[in-house]
Structure 1
Amino acid sequence: MDMLLVFLLAAGLSGGFVNGLSGFGTALFSLGWLLQVMPPQQAVAIALVCSLVTGVPGVWQVRHSIDRRRLALFILPAFAGIPIGTVLLGLVDTRLLSLLVGGMLLLYGGYFAFRRTLPTIEGNWTLVEAGIGFVGGVLGAMAGLSGALPSMWLALRPWPKAVQRGIMQPFSMVILLVATVLLALEGVFMPQVLYNLALVLPASMFGAVIGLMLFRRMPDALYPRVLIGLMLISGGTLLARTLLAGGA
């Protein structure tokens, strides 16, 4: 089998599975494969489209648990953060930003992954959650890392898994949709990119179906543990990819 096809299928299956299971992480898990066989901008474009397409069944699964008021509290400030992130993209070293976020995910995941009991954050934290949404918009526009802070916060909220996912996944999808439109306007989706996308997308959808099946069977108490474990893996992956890219 052609090595390009192997890497494309691996990217689709891994990214789709994680997205189906948790509602985030497509790019973090698929880019490690895609960046081996194509330029960064094209890899990001494919990862974004896969994340959007495979995210639709996940949102549909939790549609009855979506709290529109809570979701708006995250999304509306994110719209203010996206243009700021776009401006900062040309001013801030995105490699340094990736190292910072990767280190933060690794420390957070490592600290909570091995605790017998998880702390819970209860009550109304309106300003904090609005701030998390705003920073998520900035990070999403700068480096495609919109889900990093919301997932860290929601993992410690004492809400059922469907309510947590009903905030995190639509939030990320809105920001990723904006990013995808911006890439399309830049002309990134050339014929070769569309051809590679046509190969990746079916594998990504298959992986998402498997992940979503496991999500349905997962107890509410286990979901935060899964999120935290994925943050630990995501942080390590992001750090390794950034450091390797810097040394190349």
Structure 2
Amino acid sequence: MEMLWLALAGFILLAYTLEAITGFGSIVIALSLGALLLPIEQLLPVLVPLNICMTGYLVWRHRQMIDRRLLLGMILPAMVIGTLLGYALLPWLDAALSKRLFGVLVLWFAGRELWRMRTSHVASARPLWLNRLISLAAGVSHGLFASGGPLLVFALAGTELDKARLRATLVSVWFSLNSLLTLCFALDGRLLPALPQIISYAPLLLIGVWLGEHLHQRFNEQHFRIAIYLLLLVTGGLLIAPWSLL
């Protein structure tokens, strides 16, 4: 078991290094790789509080860029409800089924992003009601897997926000929802046993950010993104493979 948690440390370092390079969500990477070795319900109380550290810093740093109307008017109401629903559903889901559902989500997201990059597809705006419905589904995904990003980015495709404002708004979403999930983990008793792992993994965030900043200046970000999505395609396939459910 100690070797499994040591391997998770490597996945966390990789995830935060890649996020510092590309801005891509660290939890999706760390959870998809970690779920190959450990149950999702054991990983979430460790990965979610760690993410608060980075997103909290980014929210404060880019607070002037947050679109509060979009955040409070469309995203958070639906996603908070969805997150609480997903959190309530997780204990009722079989561990193997949870892993398979997450694998399907990862496969869809990675495949969609690779297709979008290949075709330079530009999404059109959707009706507000449909975006709210997708945001609710993103919240359920976040409550189940702390990975609402793929669906929320899909919901926000076609918005008129520039890249900087969209990123700042999304970071504030993850900080808010992960703070909510951390509170839930504290109330249900799962946070306290995870504190030793959280404390031991915390320095990896700083190392990952430093490595990412260092590598960002030397390599093409587009190539890193392609490598990440290919990695997620393989990982998603492994998560839904029959032998991974034993």
Q: What's the TM-score, normalizing by structure 1?
A: 0.77
* Alpha-carbon contact 2:111-2:229 (below 8 Å) kept: no
Q: Mind listing any 5+ residue stretches in structure 2 that lack a counterpart?
A: none
- 2:92 is the counterpart of 1:88: no
Which residue in the other structure is 2:135 paired with? 133
RMSD: 3.6
Q: Aligned letter for 1:130?
A: R
- Deviation, structure 1 residue 232: 5.1
Moved more, 83-92 or 58-67: 83-92
In structure 1, the partner of 2:236 is: 238
Structure number with higher helix proportion: 2
Q: CA deviation at 1:194?
A: 2.0
Amino acid at match of 2:102: S
**Matches of 1:214 and 1:64, distance apart in 2:** 28
Deviations 1:98-141 (A, max 9, x none): 233123113202311322x331435x743233223211111111
Match of 1:118, SS state, is coil
Shift of 1:198: 1.7
Structure 2 Cα separation of the partners of residues 182 and 229 of structure 1: 34
* CA distance, structure 2, for counterparts of residue 39 and residue 156 of structure 1: 35
What SS does the corresponding residue of 1:145 show, helix, strand or coil? coil
CA distance change for structure 1 residues 162 and 207 in 2, over 3 Å: closer, same or farther?
same
User: Secondary structure in 2 aligned to 1:119?
Assistant: coil
Shift of 1:216: 10
Q: Conserved in 2, the CA contact under 8 Å of 1:23 and 1:58?
A: no
Q: Which amino acid aligns with 1:97?
A: L
1:107 aligns with 2:111: yes
Deviates more, 1:31-40 or 1:73-82: 31-40
Cα distance in structure 1, aligned partners of 2:61 and 2:130: 27
Larger displacement relative to structure 2 (178-187 or 91-100): 91-100
User: Alpha-carbon deviation of 1:51?
Assistant: 1.2
Deviations 1:171-219 (A, max 9, x none): 122222222222222222345x32222221111232135446878999x
2:196 counterpart of 1:195: yes
In the other structure, the counterpart of 2:122 is: 119
Distance 1:173 1:199, change over 3 A: same
